[in-house]
Structure 1
């Protein structure tokens, strides 16, 4: 059913199109040509005017077969990659894995998902398999913090539920939960003074920040919640004779439940405020929810359908809770139930990234199986 050689060739073609995040122009044009050539309608939003990325989000729709009234499905992947992603040279090894030449990433994250979608559409058409309406959503800016999806016009989504093809893990793994994330920026303003002449007249913002961090619970908070300080900056390079007036922290907190996230952010804020008050510093604490959480049990329709479809192609379904966010979080926030399916890529975001040909094939098979299962 799946034509392996065609699928591999298309995947290799896609990864050779440079599309580092913010530079998605060329890949977007190629994708519009490919999907339209297969008879799908093409729409795009105006998100690039808000994201500053090289392309809008793309929406490709395949009308339902005559007489089919199945639920409307959508599948989603992203078109951008991380760096270094220019001049990728894919090669198929004797072990059945596709890799780059070792100087770049491969880009299986997430062009494996896109290649699987295109192959699945071809199979549906060639085999004349009946199907309901299908929408394929390709986002820009996912690697830059889900920027494309977050700027999306949700009115262009036309689906009852759907699947992201963008998780690591073995084929059959289903991310049925993923956390919400708060991006936190903390600025302490102390008072400058000469560090050698009159340090007692100063209030070191660096000392305030360090003491505040020491009062925070960070790392693994509980089974649902994490927190981290990602950046600490302050002072002027080489100027050790100044009591530093300003220090800035960049941090995050994540949790599978909004209430626990709110508690963690509040605790971090309190740690900062208490130290600032004690030391006579000023505090600016900014927290923004980047994307919402989602969580489904095994009986949710979007999960049951995936498990049945994966079983039908010989995979062993396994549900798990992810610690990272994806476009699936954003789509759930739009009110469209979405889970994230593993596509089998390994060591993503590194020059050792690879994917097995067999996993490319199984990913395409899983798309076809889900489309067929929704009508069963």
Structure 2
């Protein structure tokens, strides 16, 4: 049913297209052409204008052939660095890069998997309701494509995101919410050798605050991290400014709030003790989602997996994806594995057979929806 040779050929075409975050123009045009060839009505929104990019989200609709509800499939067009001039190669069942770039299976596998699913549905006359395809921009830059998508223009209330590492059958039904926390600490400059007592060391204030924090894994559902510290200008000057970037994540809203408040309090207290001025910026990046195992959509997905010989495994993850945004906007969406591993590294690779299985499962989801 799935044309493996066609799938691999299109994978090669997609990953060879340079498509960095906010520079997805060539990829968007390629995908618009492919979706039009398959028979979808294709549009492009203006999300790129909102994020400073050169392309918008690509949206395609395959009209219904049966009286069934609409379903959405989504993947993202952008990729992380080093992701330009990728040279993919096949070794048995594995696709790798040349070793000096990522492969781009995140999320090239999702893009080609959805297009192959559409072709198989049409070639085999699978009865279906409206199939809506959303290829988003700037996912790697903060889920910005889906964040700026007007979901009111979509019919679907259920969706499948093809953007997860692991073997086919793995389905992410729970993911955390995340806060970005930035502390800006204003101290007082002074000569570090002649008059250090006249200064207020902003870096020392930050260090004291961080020493009081619980970072890493707080519990099985919550993490916290201090990721970036920028400040100081010379070793002989008491630094008068430092900026510290942190994050908290949790599957539970109340735990996230507690972890974020603890970080903020540590910075504020350390600043007060040193008579330094502290500015705190807290930004909610995306909401959490949890689709219960007994939800009708998950029952359908499990049935689809079983029908194509896969064991469906439901898991919670510690990172966000477009699925977080779609769920937050009222579309019940899961993230489904497409068979890649070691993403965001030059060791990234794609299992061809697992991508084939993921496409087969997607086709069955359409059939059963």
Assess same fold via TM > 0.5.
yes
Distance 1:151 1:132 in 2: 26
Aligned to 1:266: 261
Unpaired runs of 5+ in structure 1?
Answer: none
SS in 2 for 1:104: coil
Distance 1:334 1:166 in 2: 18
Aligned to 2:6: 6
SS in 1 for 2:314: strand
Question: Is residue 242 of structure 1 aligned with residue 240 of structure 2?
Answer: no
Distance 2:209 2:357 in 1: 49
Distance 1:180 1:351 in 2: 28
Deviation of 1:270 after TM superposition, in Å, equals: 0.9
Q: Equivalent of 1:324, from 315, 319, 327?
A: 319
Question: Is residue 255 of structure 1 aligned with residue 250 of structure 2?
Answer: yes
Aligned to 1:75: 73
Deviation of 1:347 after TM superposition, in Å, equals: 0.9
Do the aligned partners of 2:35 and 2:60 also contact (CA within 8 Å) in 1? Answer: yes
Deviation of 1:22 after TM superposition, in Å, equals: 2.1
Do the aligned partners of 2:60 and 2:132 also contact (CA within 8 Å) in 1? Answer: yes
TM-score, scaled to structure 1: 0.96
TM-score, scaled to structure 2: 0.98
List per-residue Cα deviations over 1:338-372 (Å, max 9, x = no partner). 11011110111111111111012112111101011
Give the number of aligned pairs: 369
Aligned to 2:364: 369
Do the aligned partners of 2:189 and 2:237 also contact (CA within 8 Å) in 1? Answer: yes
Deviation of 1:150 after TM superposition, in Å, equals: 1.4
List per-residue Cα deviations over 1:60-96 (Å, max 9, x = no partner). 111110xx222211010001111111111111113x1
Do the aligned partners of 2:339 and 2:352 also contact (CA within 8 Å) in 1? Answer: no
Do the aligned partners of 2:168 and 2:355 also contact (CA within 8 Å) in 1? Answer: no
Do the aligned partners of 1:193 and 1:201 also contact (CA within 8 Å) in 2? Answer: yes
Distance 2:98 2:268 in 1: 51
Distance 1:306 1:47 in 2: 30
Aligned to 2:29: 29
SS in 1 for 2:140: helix
Deviation of 1:212 after TM superposition, in Å, equals: 0.3
Distance 1:116 1:199 in 2: 62
Deviation of 1:127 after TM superposition, in Å, equals: 1.0
Aligned to 1:45: 45
